[in-house]
Amino acid sequence: MTGPLILAIESSCDETGIALVEGGRRIHANVVASQVALHAPTGGIVPEVAARAHLRWILPVLDEALADAGATVADVDAVAVTHGPGLAGSLLVGINTAKTIAWVHGKPLVAVNHLEGHVYAAWLLDPAQDEVSEPLFPLVALVVSGGHTFLVEMHDHLEYRLLGQTVDDAAGEAFDKVGRLLGLGYPGGPEIQRAASGAVNHDAAFPRAWLGDSFDFSFSGLKTAARRIVDAERAEAGIAGDPEAHLPEPRVAELAWGFQDSVTDVLVAKTIRAARATGARSIVLGGGVAANAVLRDRLLAEATGLGVPVIIPRPGLCTDNGAMIGAAAARRLAAGERAGLDLDARPSLPLASQ
């Protein structure tokens, strides 16, 4: 494989990720310093704490990534960085690091939308992975994470048409909230999946917000319903007044299964319907929630009936990482895009419009 070697930096939220990616596909190094343990006690991300952790880890992560790739900054053809959306303080750590590297070494600077990175994770290949076909256009991409949930249509590289998005909360945020209600750990997605795998009866019914024929999503009402259901279960178990008491593990498993089933049902149904409506030749799934095995398996099964291939990165490439930024940056670089040293954070940067 040939193509530019890009040094890519991702620091939009609570993961410090730096990667070296060749030609927008082949990963030469991909190092991530996670802050999950740091934010677990608060059950969510504290922006100032996240930014300070990025400052602590970004240079060690850079050194490790270069060492893993057996490269120096002189070997790279461009420096790429996430400039939004995300937490302003976190973004600025990555942006200022990237601008410094680009200026000192005379390298082009490429600005990348974090959400675009999650889409382009589907193009990535691990170091020893055999070549595989790229996703076919037109395609439908579903990105599901802690901060974002949306569907876009792509007819070519860097061309996006927004089909639908969450009108309130993201699916990942709902997983975190319901995980706390059930007394599970943080982040909620993996914990709910683990608990749900122990469900036997599958008798916990949670509502679905279909929102008519639109491709939009809503999870706020589901969170409210989950609170009512859990409160009722706790009252029935006689522990309503004891915040330290937890429901029996078998009951938590059934409730976790019911909630997970509701979320995945809506996500998959709308994605398959969007693929039919647009005549998609492939479906891409990305974002942190795309690491959920039930969502992955259900989407693959439904798409098989439709005859459309589904491209899902391995779980480690679904969560925030530098390699996905490098994949997207290669397309931006090929399109002639360059950022100046006045590049700033855009915490609410959109990917596409309807």
pLDDT digit string, tens, across residues 97-110: 999 999 999 999 99
The Cα–Cα gap between 230 and 247 comes to 9
Which residue range is the domain that position 39 belongs to?
5-126+316-334
- The answer to whether residues 105 and 224 belong to one domain is no
Within this chain, do residues 187 and 309 fall inside the same structural domain, yes or no? yes
Give yes or no: residues 303 and 327 share one domain. Answer: no
Task: With respect to residue 98, please indicate whether it lies within any of the assigned structural domains.
Answer: yes
Largest CA distance in the chain: 67
Q: Is residue 266 part of a domain?
A: yes
Share of the chain above pLDDT 90, in %: 95
Calpha distance 85→169 (Å, rounded)? 16
pLDDT at 122: 98
Contact 282, 135 (CB under 8 A): yes
157/62 same-domain check: no
Based on the domain organization, do 322 and 308 belong to the same domain? no
User: Would you tell me how many other CB atoms lie within 10 Å of the CB of residue 236?
Assistant: 11
Give the integer Cα–Cα distance in Å for 27 and 322.
Answer: 10
Give the total number of structural domains in the chain: 2
What's the pLDDT score for residue 352? 81
Does position 313 have pLDDT exceeding 80, yes or no?
Answer: yes
Query: In terms of domains, do 107 and 150 share one?
Result: no
Asked whether residue 352 is assigned to any structural domain, the reply reads: no
Question: Hey, is 6 helix, strand or coil?
Answer: strand
Q: Are residues 296 and 222 part of one domain? A: yes
Write down the mean pLDDT value for the chain: 96
In a shared domain, residues 147 and 295: yes
Q: What CATH number did the domain enclosing 104 receive?
A: 3.30.420.40
The DSSP letter of residue 45 is -
Average pLDDT of the residues in 42-63: 95
pLDDT at residue 210 greater than cutoff 80? yes
303 and 323 co-located in one domain: no
Asked whether residue 105 falls in the same domain as residue 233, the answer is no
Residue 353 lies in a domain: no
pLDDT for residue 193: 98
Task: Express each pLDDT in 147-178 by its tens digit.
Answer: 999 999 999 999 999 999 999 999 999 999 99
The pLDDT assigned to 1 comes to: 63
Q: Is residue 346 a part of any domain in this protein?
A: no
pLDDT score of 354:
60
Mean pLDDT of 319-327: 98
Please tell me whether residues 21 and 152 are part of one structural domain.
no
Collapsing DSSP states into helix, strand and coil, what is residue 140? strand
Separation between Cα atoms, residue 121 and residue 321, nearest integer Å = 9
Same domain flag for 321 and 309: no
| Residues 254/203, Cβ–Cβ less than 8 Å | yes
CA-closest candidate to residue 279, choices 160, 146, 147, 137: 137
Percent over 70 (pLDDT), the chain = 99
Asked, for residue 339, whether it belongs to a domain, the answer is: no
Q: pTM (2 decimals)? A: 0.95
- Residue 44 is predicted with a pLDDT of 87
Query: What number is the average pLDDT over the span 107-116?
Result: 98
On whether residue 343 sits in a domain, the answer given is: no
